[in-house]
Amino acid sequence: MSAPDGQDFDPLIPETFDSPYPVYAQLRAQCPVAHSNAWGGFWGLASYQDVLRVLAEPEVFITSRQNVVPKLAFTGRRPPLHLDPPEHTPYRRALNPLLKPERIAALEPAIRRTAASLLMPLVERGGGDICVDYSSHLTIRVFAEWMNVPEELVPDLQQVGRAYNIAVQSADGEMVRETSLKLYDLARTMIESRRREPRDPATDPTAALLAARVDGQPFADEMILGTIRQVLVVGIIAPTVVVGSICVHLARHPELQQQLRADASLLPRAIEELLRLYTPYRGFARTANRDVEFHGRTIREGEPIALLYASANRDEAVFENPDEFVLNRPNIADHLAFGMGPHVCLGVPLARLELRVAIEELLKCTRGFELAGEIKPTRFPEIGALSVPLRFL
């Protein structure tokens, strides 16, 4: 499969919400190790097994050189994503206790209250844009709750976080730079606040990073700053997109809406299957530190490799009828929506809780909903819905 200019695929062509998936199916069938000339050139791995191979060999496929396609980092390293093991491990170890299921479960009442309050004006006017009016706000408020963001900083985080979110998903490089620097300013303010008013490292992520020690030494100031800056956005972008994509699917399948309204206990498994179908990432990247071969094609040392998770999770060699929603899919635990290996998503318990509550509250406050306008898709490195107008029935 070749694009007109000789490359195997072109990620810059205009897309609809649905159009990337047939392209990825064709790549899996004809060119699973595909090259694109976009953004200086990169490789895309379309098959599940090839993506899994990369995730299983972190000593060969590193993240410290380029962790996303297109490259978005302009202002230094941000642990843990920008570091390779074992250098990244202390940063994950510092944050892991704050993401244990029991700690996350305690946030459910606050998440539920926030979701209900955001949905109320939409219900009153009979609908709205579920991404712009709901999920983009919910993700920031949930994250602020987990992060213990000082109350006076929450409005700034909401404004800058949403602007950064839109800039990344719209491939607006200049706005990404501008909003990224503002997020660094927020991170500095949070660190200064914790230094003035210490909190328990067992309940506060910033305090946990300040208290962490490696061989008796604290983390370097710039690395703490980079970690806070990284953490500020990883919990914002993907959930916004996933909630939108799930709502597109439910709007197209009113019978599934009613099934989940009638039995909320089905939601956790439904959300796992929807995460497989609408995996929000296709641009997480690795770089081989030596020449490697996939299916007879050689990827040279230093060339970026995009892990097309959205394609891998629809690989017919792994998931039967991969483009269909199957509520009780027997191998659903094999999906890669959260990655795998040393860089598996730290916030899995929070993401699952947030998605479940977000959809459950939406179903609870509506009798039904349908699409009320054009779905606006996001762009690389994400995939999914950026804008989803809904009409509540």
Q: Give mean pLDDT, residues 292-304.
A: 97
In a domain, 244, yes or no: yes
pLDDT of residue 188: 93
The tally of domains found in the chain comes to 1
pLDDT tens profile 363-384 = 999 999 999 999 999 989 899 9
In a domain, 335, yes or no: yes
Torsion, CA 343, CA 11, CA 184, CA 85, rounded to 10: 20
| Domain CATH code at residue 296 | 1.10.630.10
In a domain, 346, yes or no: yes
58-67, 71-80, 173-182, 272-281: which is most confident: 272-281
Domain that holds residue 342: 20-392
In a domain, 270, yes or no: yes
Percentage of the chain beyond pLDDT 70 is: 97
In a domain, 14, yes or no: no
Torsion, CA 119, CA 121, CA 127, CA 133, rounded to 10: -70
pLDDT tens profile 223-261 = 999 888 888 777 778 888 999 999 999 999 999 999 999
pTM check: above 0.75: yes
pLDDT of residue 75: 59
- Whether the CA torsion 88, 160, 304, 2 is positive or negative: it is positive
Is residue 164 very low, low, confident or very high in pLDDT (cuts 50, 70, 90)? confident
Is 80 exceeded by the pLDDT of residue 166? no
d(CA 382, CA 169): 7
- Mean confidence (pLDDT) of the chain: 92
pLDDT of residue 285: 95
**3-class state of residue 306 by DSSP:** strand
In a domain, 266, yes or no: yes
Is 60 exceeded by the pLDDT of residue 145? yes
d(CA 293, CA 60): 12
pLDDT tens profile 8-58 = 999 999 999 999 999 999 999 999 999 999 999 999 999 999 999 999 999
pLDDT tens profile 76-109 = 667 787 888 888 899 999 999 999 988 999 999 9
Query: Alpha helices, DSSP H only, in 19-132?
Result: 20-30, 48-56, 89-95, 101-105, 108-125
Is residue 3 very low, low, confident or very high in pLDDT (cuts 50, 70, 90)? low
Is 80 exceeded by the pLDDT of residue 134? yes
d(CA 175, CA 165): 10
Is residue 310 very low, low, confident or very high in pLDDT (cuts 50, 70, 90)? very high
In a domain, 75, yes or no: yes
In a domain, 8, yes or no: no
